[in-house]
Chains A and B, each alone.
Chain A
Amino acid sequence: MKQLLILSGKGGTGKTTVASAFIKLSHAKAFADCDVDAPNLHLVTSGLSTATCTDYMGMQKAVVDTGLCIGCDRCRKHCRFTAIQNHVEHYEVNPYDCEGCGVCVAVCPVGAVSLQPAKAGVLKLFCTADTVFSTAQLEMGSGTSGKLVTEVKKQMVNQSAGKAPLAIIDGSPGIGCPVIASLNQVDLVLIVAEPSVSGISDMRRILEAADRFQVPTAVCINKYDTDMRHSDEIENLCLETGVAFTGRIPFDPAAVRAINCGKSIVDVDCPAGDAVRNVYGNTLRLLEERSGR
């Protein structure tokens, strides 16, 4: 299975818009949404079955047994995450701050602290006769999003059981742990860039991150006609640095209307839809070449 991951660095440049169009155009048998703390791909995926949901257990969380606690203060003093508070009568762990390291358990002289399983999100699987869509929702304020991303991808690969030649993966913004986790095993990253000073700065950082993990990259521009000068700058930058450029998509009110009706932009007849077909063709050709299989 070849994996195509859509990223952007900056948020809101059109990752999900491009991913949903690619899924339609390729008749993808396997796809995933790795933006686990703000997933949206399910909103523009038609004909979804009912999801099979599995609780995602993140890191365990410390719990203080107030009946055993002697108030020695060692757990609070040793916690690097200031997750343990000393209330007048008892010690309490703030589950949002606790990272589950187990130091408090190790230093407690009376065995009053233990680590307990904690739910950190829900893994969702939508299957039809021949397609697999893997996604998830992280709990608000939770950490360990990288681990959940790994679970989302693992579920997609396992469920499609080698039957899908191509997987389209919608990624998350930024360059941190969920993005790094999503890069694993990917054959090509398509970066959806935005023509602005911020967009270019963010694109440079995601290109550097992908490079760090030795994943081949390509770039396309969304809403290119909102700022031609910066669109040209992005294309030149790709040329200079040897990054493949796969096309420009215009700003298109019809595309916004399609998304707001829960459709992909290739479900309606519009200029953005035509442009994304071209980007798709170029990107897929590149995927064949780069992955060399």
Chain B
Amino acid sequence: MPRTNTTIAVLSGKGGTGKTLLSVNLACVAPSSIYVDCDVEEPNGGLFFKPEAITVFPVSVKIPVVDEKLCNGCHTCVDFCRFNALALVGQKLLVFNEVCHACGGCTLICPQNAITEQERIIGRVEMGISGNVKVLSGIMEVGESSGVPIIRKLLADPATPELTLIDCPPGSACLVMESIRKADFCLLVAEPTLFGVHNLAMVYDLVRKFHKPYAVVLNKCLAEDNPAETFCQEHAIRVLGKIPFDYELGFMHSNASIAARESQKYRVLFSSILEAVLREMDR
């Protein structure tokens, strides 16, 4: 049996290529596993797992609070803040919470010690159980701009002796970087379209930039030429599995059913992909 205490991040650059499909199903076919939904802006993993015994942990950031009796309007904090989160209107100091990065600079630098910090909730982590899978979902409040603190909270636990699958957000920016930071292996999901290939090329650059071992799984495969497969051949990228374009699978997925739990055929397919990934990691 290959090692199980390992963390695999599933990412794609482009949205809708099958990150959640792959990470949810891989988590299900392992004897026991942890699934972590880092797509905190649009989390969907919980819709599939329907976890029970949910515990909720709020996630907060620190924001500055001004003591108006102590503030003498000296402007030092306003000049210091590079995020324009503070403004002095007349003699009143205003704080724009949504753009504050919680660096703590204003509190530190105020000559009057007029600024303290207060917690502000920006989202939550939900932890629950679905059969053999422990499900962790990060959920950002609507209207917030950055989910990075929620992803940090999701991945803050020390390494567990269990197989962990991280369902990443789309794109290639800070949220994705934060999500793959602790991953031992990156699994790139690609679809056979012009857009799919272009975004595969971007996350391929990203995982190499962060020196992560990686391989590709091709999703929505048809009988005709697959431009994503061609890209992998040209760049000598290992392809560890192919998921067919299949109405039955699509329909199970659109109804938030987990294919590996509903269909023997897909249980076999996702088991073989997981085995291939674990073997690849041991190479």
A contacts, CB < 8 Å to B: 8-13, 16, 35-38, 40, 43-44, 59-60, 78, 80-81, 96, 99-103, 106-107, 138, 140-143, 145-146, 172-178, 180, 194-199, 201-202, 205, 208-209, 212, 226-227, 230, 256, 259-260, 262
Taken together as a complex, chains A and B put the C-alpha atoms of A85 and B31 apart, in Å, by 38
* A10 near B42: Cβ-Cβ < 8 Å: yes
- Tally A-B pairs: CB < 8 A: 178
23 A–B contacts, CB within 8 A, in A order? A10-B16, A11-B14, A40-B199, A43-B194, A96-B174, A101-B83, A101-B103, A102-B103, A140-B177, A140-B202, A140-B206, A143-B148, A172-B171, A173-B15, A173-B42, A173-B171, A176-B175, A177-B146, A197-B255, A198-B254, A205-B42, A209-B143, A259-B195
Task: Give 1 or 0 for each of B96-135: 1 = CB within 8 Å of chain A CB.
Answer: 0000011111001100000000000000000000000000
User: Which residue from A141, A174, A177 sits with its C-beta under 8 Å from B170?
Assistant: A174
Closest beta carbon of chain B to A210's beta carbon, Å: 10
Q: Is B52 an interface residue (CB 8 A)?
A: no
B contacts, CB < 8 Å to A: 13-17, 20, 39, 41-42, 44, 47, 80, 82-83, 101-105, 108-109, 140, 142-148, 169-177, 191, 193-195, 198-199, 202, 205-206, 209-210, 227, 247, 250-251, 253-256
* A38 near B171: Cβ-Cβ < 8 Å: yes
Which of A59, A140, A177, A226 has most B Cβ within 10 Å?
A140
* A138 near B173: Cβ-Cβ < 8 Å: yes
With A11-B15, A175-B140 known as contacts, the answer to whether A260 contacts B194 (CB < 8 A) is yes
The interface residues of chain B lying within 8 Å CB-to-CB of A212 are 142-143
* B82 near A262: Cβ-Cβ < 8 Å: no
Q: Supply 18 further A-B pairs (C-beta < 8 A) apart from A101-B82, A195-B254, A198-B256.
A: A11-B42, A38-B170, A38-B199, A40-B198, A99-B101, A101-B83, A102-B80, A106-B108, A141-B172, A146-B145, A173-B170, A175-B41, A176-B175, A177-B146, A197-B254, A198-B20, A259-B195, A260-B227
* A138 near B172: Cβ-Cβ < 8 Å: yes
With A16-B195, A40-B198, A176-B145 known as contacts, the answer to whether A103 contacts B108 (CB < 8 A) is yes
* A12 near B14: Cβ-Cβ < 8 Å: yes
Specify the chain A residue showing the minimal Cβ separation from B147: A176
The interface residues of chain A lying within 8 Å CB-to-CB of B169 are 174
